[in-house]
Chains A and B, each alone.
Chain A
Amino acid sequence: MSFITGVGLTSFGKHEGSSSLDLMSKAAQAALDDAGLKRSEIDGILCGYSTVSPHIMLATVFAEHFGIRPSYAHAVQGGGATGLAMTMLAHHLVVSGVCRNVLVVAGENRLTGQSRDASIQALAQVGHPDHEVPLGPTIPAYYGLVANRYMHEYGVSEEDLAEFAVLMRAHACTHPGAQFHDPITVADVMASKPVAMPLKLLDCCPVSDGGAAFVISRERTGEAGVSIRGCAQAHTHQHVTAAPGLSELGAEISIARAKKQTGLAISDVRYTAIYDSFTITLAMLLEDLGLAGRGEAAARVRAGHFGRDGAMPLNTHGGLLSYGHCGVGGAMAHLVEAHLQMTGRAADRQVRDASVALLHGDGGVLSSHVSMFLERVR
């Protein structure tokens, strides 16, 4: 068994003058404080990557900087799925007895450390270097292609997708650390600048500075325990050109594996933390995971199903779409928020019952998937 014993999250947005290491350190210190652990008690470090400050050994760079001499350390790269992939690895390291306390950390000054063009360019390189990148696609274009096809097959409209942006913004408005605090409407999303059709500016997550961290431990350190019940991955392709059909994507495979492993069903889940790089990502993942029927997720948003007081609260911090996206740390904020909800510390955002949470991360163009169930234990 493994426990998430502490979480740390910076605000997202502009952190003028902060480096990636600064943001990682800030989040890591918050996670250690939350877990009630000292540096000397951390024997494993897993960290994400930084597009602003690439390094072939970022985990040891961080360990030296932060002041830890771990017995296990390396970086992990899995695009947007990296945070949950690291959490899954930390879980296995702890369960197998390799480590007692693993610090999982990521942070990046992606907004102020490089131009927006540089960020878009860096990310577009997940495309095939010979057969895709020369065509000038961007990450929104890769997802725009998927959105166009998904809307065609399942009768989803642009207004439907806009609902997810509106929901995430409404949630962000209740979190002081979120990058955006101005409420938006479906009409605002529809009128926002076209980026890669059918995706418009407000269908896309922003570029942010920020950091997130957590500690995965063999033993509980606090009163309220959050355990990792089980987790699974699926990787079906890298490039959108080589993606399987919409009914064979990795989210369905990884959730099936995680359900089988834990014996849990979607009906057991009380809180959800789902990757939302674009509105289409969130719509598709909710439906792939079985949190809504095909083409029905938007109707559930309109009915309040995924709101704080709804039957299945979702990304109550505002998600990547409105809390912000600083790279690997972006999707780690989803886990931090889930932890706060499960331990009754989510302030105004607190949901009634977050005893069982489902988390899902996606990297590339729906290429890499990690599904994870967390459970509160007393």
Chain B
Amino acid sequence: MSERLADWTKGEEAITYQTCSSCGHVQYFHRAFCAACGESDPREQRASGKGKVYATSLVCRAATPETRAHVPYNILLVDCAEGFRMMAHGGNDLAIGDSVVVSFKPFAGKLVPFFAKET
């Protein structure tokens, strides 16, 4: 299996994804195999951090003291340039279809991807 690149879920300022070497399927949730065809060892890559907003939801009621400190925060689904969808945070002004680029911000004790409008 190819070496796992560190990403934001491991505290690194990066978004990573996998591409199947056999069928070309692109997946965001990491696995030791391709979920489309079963081929083992999909190729790990760093994403550009660019994409388009698919959907947003501004969270105004959080359930833990750590997340409550950040309310309101905008949860996004972003369609990334490389062909996968991911969940992230973003500016409260974002709307569906906006072109966005990522940076990283601390949230409830972790580093999370935060998208803003591409300038």
Binding site for B on A (CB under 8 A): 117, 120-121, 124, 128, 130-132, 134-138, 140-142, 144-149, 152, 193-199, 239-242
Contact = CB atoms under 8 A, between A and B. Distances in A.
B61 A145 contact: no
Contacts of A195: 60-61
Contact of B59 (A132, A134, A196, A241): A196
Nearest to A146: B55
Contacts of B116: none
Contacts, number: 106
Interface residues of B, number: 31
B89 to A, nearest CB: 6
25 contacts: A131-B9, A131-B28, A131-B87, A134-B108, A135-B75, A136-B73, A136-B75, A136-B107, A136-B108, A137-B59, A137-B75, A137-B87, A138-B62, A141-B57, A141-B59, A148-B55, A149-B54, A152-B55, A194-B60, A196-B57, A196-B59, A196-B75, A198-B57, A242-B29, A242-B85
Given A131-B28, A152-B55, 18 more contacts: A117-B63, A130-B29, A131-B9, A131-B87, A132-B87, A134-B110, A136-B59, A136-B62, A136-B64, A140-B61, A141-B57, A141-B75, A142-B57, A146-B55, A197-B57, A240-B77, A240-B87, A242-B85
B28 A241 contact: yes
B9 A134 contact: yes
Main SS of the interface on chain A? helix
A184 B57 CA distance: 24
Interface of B: 9, 28-29, 54-64, 67, 70, 72-73, 75-77, 85-89, 96, 107-108, 110, 112
Given A134-B110, A136-B108, A145-B55, A197 B77 contact: no
